[in-house]
Every structure is written in structure tokens, then in C-alpha cells.
Amino acid sequence: MFRVPGFEGRRVAVFGLGRSGLTAARALKAGGAEPVLWDDGISSRMQAEAEGFVVEDLTAADWTQFAALVLSPGVPLTHPVPHWTVEKAKEAGVGIVGDLELFARALAALPEGRRPQVVAITGTNGKSTTTALIAWVLKQAGMTVHMGGNIGIGVLALPEPTPGAVYVIECSSYQLDLTTSFAPDVAILTNISPDHLDRHGGMEGYVAAKARIFRAHGEGKVALVGVDETWGAGLADELDRQPAGSLARIRSGDTGRDAAASELVVSNGRVRVLDTPLDLVGARSLAGRHNAQNAAFAYGAARALGVEHQTAVEGLLSFPGLAHRMETVGHLGKVRFVNDSKATNADAARQALAAWDRVFWIAGGRAKAGGIDDLAELFPRVVEAFLIGEAAGPFAAALGEVPHRISGDMASAVRQAFEAASRTGREEVVLLSPAAASFDQFPDFEARGEAFRAAALALGARAEGAA
């Protein structure tokens, strides 16, 4: 666990006692601060009291006595309206930070020779896979690697810094909105497409939050930016105008389902990311154009940290993949079951649909703005769609003449998709890539993915890796 310095003997308000809030309180206390905790949930307050923390109703507190407000990423900072704690902090002139900012300050307080290196990854889609992939490649290269943030362990719960260690941190837009001094050695933006717009007041606010990962871009810093869409390309142009730091624009190549090469196009001459396209045909967990781009980010980060070319490539080829992200969960006859439950919006589902020429597509849930209208160009790849959840009706309307049926629930969709796929006599893919949130039928995308896996196995599918 980290110890956060700079608040010794001072009261620090902490609101939101989920994973990041409690971890921040522990790290503040370990650093000598006096955290004062509050949450709207009684059970969260009881847990904090059981750990010996001061729990105080912040609605009635004297905010002039606080040195800072540590806000959970899930609490609105600006939109739709600022949370009441934000208003009170601003009225009292109290700075507002998040766990990622505390992490940054803890690292900055270390003597220069003891500071570890940090690779930070953000983006609308692909950031979890890229984060895990980078951590894997660096570990295969023999480095001491700690992975966390928006994936897995909260940043302040990661092991304390040791010389030579590398922290690989996934950053959400909510976390980045609460940073002022975060300065990763390698900062990565995978892509940007509309998401969480209600929390950022629109697209401009969302892009601005993502761009905060590059606030410290300067001498000795490396930026790797996906430029497949206009927002990423625009941010790359802004970075290119800065006199210091290194930039590489990364564009996904025109790869087919298995031809995994990524076209890393441009560098500004100060960092050379890749000389030739990577041949990822042997990487079973990196199928598709988007994963070729993820591999390019991982390769670029590894090379920036001194990993030799061949070692980096070997790490990419051996990556086992992540659950719920283009994950093959089993086979039954000639039918392959692929779990892409993490595709909670249309842009994420686009990557999976583009990876195969033919799919029996399970989609639906709680639709996001725009539904699946933007995927129309990929509908010819859909042999038949099987629709679940609240979005089944709207998705059916969007599909139009594309063969589809409303299955309703996951078990029915998996059974019907398998029966349809097996009748063709061909090698086929049953793909769960919902293009929607899970909250109508499941608590999260992980539970949805596990329901898909269970349904496939219940049909008799042989689990991936089973004899």
C-alpha cells in the first residue's frame, strides 16, 4: 500500500467509500493525515467505522478545516450537476483530488533515484486489454510490474515503490478529471468515441478529460496516440506542436480476421516506435484490427522502457488475453463461442463484428445513445442476430432486413444462436458483443459474460484449453 505524504496532521475529507475511497483513506492515514470519511450508504459508513476511521457527516462539517477533498471517481464533479461535497469544497477554497492524483503526489515526493516508471492508458475502448498486454510484455521481459487503477487493484493499494519497478495504470475519464499533477513516463490514448457524455457535459468535456493524461507531456515523456478518429488525431496534432517530449501516432492497419499486423505510421523523429509491421498471426488472443492496434501500443510502450524488439514481440505472442474481451470460451462441433461482454457500446462492438466475416450475433441490454445505427455497414457480416434485454425492440428496428429474432434472455439467445450456427455445417462463430450496457439484466458486464459462458457450457461446449 502507498503512503500519501503532504497532509501530515491535517484533516482530509473523503467522500465515497467504495474501493478507491477506502483505499485512499488508508493511504492518507498511513502518510500521517487525519481522514474524515462519509458516504450516503450506511453499510459503507459502518465498514469505515469498523476499520477505525473517523466517520463524520460532511453536510454539517466545518469545511475550512479540511486540507483537501478526496472524491470517488463515481461522484459527479461537474455534470449533470456538481455533487454537494464539490460545492462545499469550492466555497471553502478546498482543493478536490482523486486517488490517481494522490498516487501522483506520492511518487513525486520520492527522491529521483527511487521513483518508478509509470505507463498510463486511457481511451473509450481497448484500454483494459492494452493495460493488461503492456503489463504482460514487461513481466515477460523480467521487469517488476504492478498493474492497477481502473482495472483490478486501486492505484493506492498497489505495492509501495521500489527502484526499477514499473506501474501500468488504466485511467478512466472520471479519474483523470480529478488530476492536476499526474505525470506518466508513457501516456497512451487508445481511441475516443462518445461515452459518459452526461458526466462530462458533452463531447468536448469528455475529450478534455481524456487529454489530461498528457498534461505533463514534456522532456523525457512519451505519448502514444491512436489517430483512427478525428479527436485522437487532433490531440496528436496538439502534442506535436509542443517542443519537448516524444510522440507516435498509431493507426490500425487494414487487417483481416487473422492477419494481425498494425500499421504504426508516424513518429515525430524523437521516438522510433516500430520499423516494420508486427506479424501477430501466432497471437491467438490478439485477433482483429483493434487488437493489432492494442499490440502496437504495447510494443511502443515496451520499447520506450528499453525492452528489446524480439523480447517485446515474444511477449505479445504469448499474451493469454482478458476475460470478456474477444474471449473464446469454448467450442461445440464447428461452432466457436466468443465472449465480448465488455463491448458496452456500439464502437466497442464494431471491433468484434469486424474481426469475422460471419457471425451469429447476440446483442442487446440497456442501449446507449445512438444504439447500433452506426454499425449498419457491418450488418452484412451478421448471419442472424439474437436480441436480449431492453434494447431488443430498438435493435430489431435498426437491423431491418437483417435476419434476427428477439430471444429475450441470455440462455435462450445462446441456445438459438448455436442451433442456427450448427445447421450451416460450416465453421461458425456465436458472438456475444452486446453494444449496450448490462444493467437491465445483470449487475455488470462480467456477470453478463459469465452467463454467456455458462450457457455455452450447458449446451455441451468444450471449454477453451480443455482436453
Instruction: Write down the pLDDT at residue 466.
Output: 53
Instruction: Write down the pLDDT at residue 37.
Output: 98
Instruction: Write down the pLDDT at residue 253.
Output: 55
CB atoms within 10 A of CB 225: 28
Grade residue 260 by pLDDT with cuts at 50, 70 and 90: very low
83 within 8 A of 21, measured Cβ to Cβ:
no
Grade residue 98 by pLDDT with cuts at 50, 70 and 90: very high
Grade residue 113 by pLDDT with cuts at 50, 70 and 90: confident
Residue 181, pLDDT > 80, answer yes
Separation between Cα atoms, residue 246 and residue 270, nearest integer Å: 5
Instruction: Write down the pLDDT at residue 272.
Output: 37
**What average pLDDT does the segment 387-398 reach?**
96
Interior angle at CA 18, CA 193 and CA 135, nearest 5: 55
Instruction: Write down the pLDDT at residue 277.
Output: 57
Separation between Cα atoms, residue 67 and residue 36, nearest integer Å: 11
378 φ, ψ (degrees, to nearest 5):
-100, -5
Closest CA relative to residue 385, chosen from 409, 410, 360, 350? 360
Grade residue 333 by pLDDT with cuts at 50, 70 and 90: very high
* Least confident span in 79-83, 195-199, 406-410: 195-199
Separation between Cα atoms, residue 276 and residue 299, nearest integer Å: 12
Closest CA relative to residue 140, chosen from 120, 166, 121? 166
CATH class assigned to 102-317: alpha beta
Chain center to CA of 403: 32
Closest CA relative to residue 431, chosen from 292, 285, 327? 327
CATH topology for the 327-463 domain? Protein-Tyrosine Phosphatase; Chain A (3.90.190)
Instruction: Write down the pLDDT at residue 269.
Output: 28
Q: What is the pLDDT of residues 136-146, one digit of tens each?
A: 999 999 999 99
- Transcribe 169-187 into DSSP letters: EE--HHHHHT-SS---SEE
**What average pLDDT does the segment 121-139 reach?**
92
Q: Which CATH architecture describes the domain 11-97?
A: 3-Layer(aba) Sandwich (3.40)
Separation between Cα atoms, residue 118 and residue 305, nearest integer Å: 10
Residue 352, pLDDT > 80, answer yes
Residue 278, pLDDT > 90, answer no
CB proximity list for 197: less than 8 A, separation 6 or greater:
203, 205, 206, 369
445 within 8 A of 344, measured Cβ to Cβ:
yes
Instruction: Write down the pLDDT at residue 372.
Output: 96
Report the share of the chain in percent with pLDDT over 70.
91
448 within 8 A of 366, measured Cβ to Cβ:
no
**What average pLDDT does the segment 109-117 reach?**
91
Question: DSSP 3-state assignment of 42?
Answer: helix
**What average pLDDT does the segment 296-302 reach?**
90
Residue 254, pLDDT > 50, answer no
Grade residue 219 by pLDDT with cuts at 50, 70 and 90: confident
Q: What is the pLDDT of residues 264-274, one digit of tens each?
A: 432 332 333 44
Instruction: Write down the pLDDT at residue 354.
Output: 86
Grade residue 288 by pLDDT with cuts at 50, 70 and 90: low
Residue type, 116: P
**What average pLDDT does the segment 297-318 reach?**
90
Separation between Cα atoms, residue 315 and residue 309, nearest integer Å: 10
Q: What is the pLDDT of residues 400-436, one digit of tens each?
A: 999 999 999 999 999 999 999 999 999 999 999 999 9
Separation between Cα atoms, residue 123 and residue 286, nearest integer Å: 18
Residue 255, pLDDT > 60, answer no
Instruction: Write down the pLDDT at residue 351.
Output: 83
* Least confident span in 12-26, 163-177, 234-248, 331-345: 234-248
Nine-digit cell string for 340 = 465480448
Closest CA relative to residue 359, chosen from 376, 387, 380? 380
Closest CA relative to residue 408, chosen from 397, 393, 425, 421? 393
User: What b/e readout covers 395-423, taking b as 16+ CB neighbours within 10 angstroms?
Assistant: bbebbeebebbbbeebbbbbbbbbebbbe
* Least confident span in 166-175, 214-223, 261-270, 298-307: 261-270
Could you state, in order of their start, the residue ranges of all structural domains in the chain?
A: 11-97, 102-317, 327-463
Across the chain, mean pLDDT equals: 89
Residue 322, pLDDT > 90, answer no
Residue 290, pLDDT > 80, answer no
Separation between Cα atoms, residue 215 and residue 240, nearest integer Å: 13
Grade residue 276 by pLDDT with cuts at 50, 70 and 90: low
CB proximity list for 109: less than 8 A, separation 6 or greater:
5, 6
Domains 102-317 and 327-463 share a fold: no
Q: What is the pLDDT of residues 200-209, one digit of tens each?
A: 888 999 999 9
Place of cell 505495492: 159
Closest CA relative to residue 148, chosen from 119, 126, 123? 119
Nine-digit cell string for 76 = 459527479
Instruction: Write down the pLDDT at residue 262.
Output: 37
114 φ, ψ (degrees, to nearest 5):
-105, -5
